[in-house]
Every structure is written in C-alpha cells, then in structure tokens.
Amino acid sequence: MSRDEFLANIRHAAKIGCAYRVHATDVAETVGYIGADQDLCVAMAEEVNAVGGVATVVSDAAAALARLDEILSEHQPKSAICWRHDLLEYLGLSRFLEKREIAYSHYESWSAGSVKACRDTWLAAEIGITSTDLAIAETGSLLVASGPGHERVVSLLPPVHVAIVARCQIVPDLIDAVSWLREQGAGNLASNVTLISGPSKTGDIELQLTTGVHGPGHWYVIVIREAVE
C-alpha cells in the first residue's frame, strides 16, 4: 500500500468515525454538568442515536411493548435471552415472548443447568433483552452492573441487544453515575460494571471502523416516560 493510499484510508475512516462521536471536540466548550433542567428522556434518546444506536421515547408500558414488537418483526428472532428485572416483569416480557413463540431463557433456567447447556443457549440466542442499572443522558450510555439475573452475556453475545429503560433510571451526567456507584459501597459493587455506548464498534490498524464484530451490531433503547416504581 502506498503512502497516499494509506493516508486516504485514514481520512476516510476519520470521516466515518465522526458519525459515532469518536472525533475530537473543543473540550472547553463541551465539558460541563448537564443538570436536570431538560427533558432527560429526549436527551438520552438523542445521544443514543448519535452513537449509532436506535432510541425511541414512548409514553407507557403498552407503547414500549408495541415498539419491541416492531423490533422483533424486523429481526425475526427465534430465541432470546433476557434479564430478570422488575421493569421487564412489570411489562410482562415472558408472556409477550411466549405469545410470539419466541423461545426465551433467563437466570432461573441457567442456574439449574449445566455449564455446557448454558453456553449453548447463550451462543444460539438471536436477541438479548435487558433493562439497565442506570442510563446516562449526557453520553447516551447504559451502566450495567453484572450479577445474578443481570448477566453481561445478555447484552454482549446476541447480534441484537434491546434495552428497556424507565425515566426513573436516567441520570443527567456521568458525575451522577459515579456518585451512584460510590453510594453502593465497596462491598456491594458488582464484579463487572460496563458502560454501553452504541453498538459494538471496532477500529483495526488501518482505522477502518466496523460494527458488530465483538458484540451486538444492532442496539435499540426504548425509553418509557411513564412513572414505573
């Protein structure tokens, strides 16, 4: 590869990267606390879309399930792995998947099965459905603390990841997320805490940005305005 071709590839990759907020910005103009004076649902959705995800703000649980149904219709999954989470139970996710004849599994079945059976189930899943521990409006990120029922494989292994988020789970800024982690106390922190910002993105040595290589290539976030306790 000639020098000119190499530089041309770098320019092309940098142009593509700008669409996913990986370019440099003027720090002096952009750093600052977002605060709570804006619509956090809209702010969260805008940032999710900016980093390559697909976000939808909905009014209530029924609208959230209608949006999930659209996603399922688009991808036609036969199997799903899911979190066990209060919000997903409130939505009736298990019944929802059963009606659509989508095989699903979660923590209870995995904890009783063999390691091989669990691995086979995880690797075969076509979609992963989670909620989140926190959502950060500033960056459109999900803070996921792994643990029983909140396995990180659900958001990592399937080619499609759908996260359903309630308004009460959204904090304005990364500062708030750090404060939340501090409040948990060192003895209660999960063994793994991940910030998910967009679908999986990988840049090789020639800076060619590729999605979906080391994780889901499709990332959907459904934000529910309804007050969900």
pLDDT surpasses 70 at 118: yes
Q: What is the pLDDT of residues 148-163, one digit of tens each?
A: 889 999 999 999 999 9
Residue 216: name the closest of 191, 192, 228, 198 by CA: 198
User: Is the pTM here over 0.95, yes or no?
Assistant: no
Please provide the CATH number assigned to the domain covering 3-224: 3.40.50.10420
User: What's the confidence (pLDDT) of residue 184?
Assistant: 84
Q: What is the pLDDT of residues 22-63, one digit of tens each?
A: 555 554 454 455 555 679 999 999 999 998 999 999 999 999
Beta bridge partners of residue 143, listed in sequence order:
134, 195
Q: List the structure tokens of 158.
A: 């399937």
User: What's the confidence (pLDDT) of residue 27?
Assistant: 47
The overall longest dimension of the chain from CA atoms, in Å, is 60
Q: Share the mean pLDDT of the chain.
A: 85
Q: What is the pLDDT of residues 88-105, one digit of tens each?
A: 999 999 999 999 999 999
Q: List the structure tokens of 9.
A: 């590839």
Q: Output 65 or 149, whichever has higher pLDDT.
A: 65
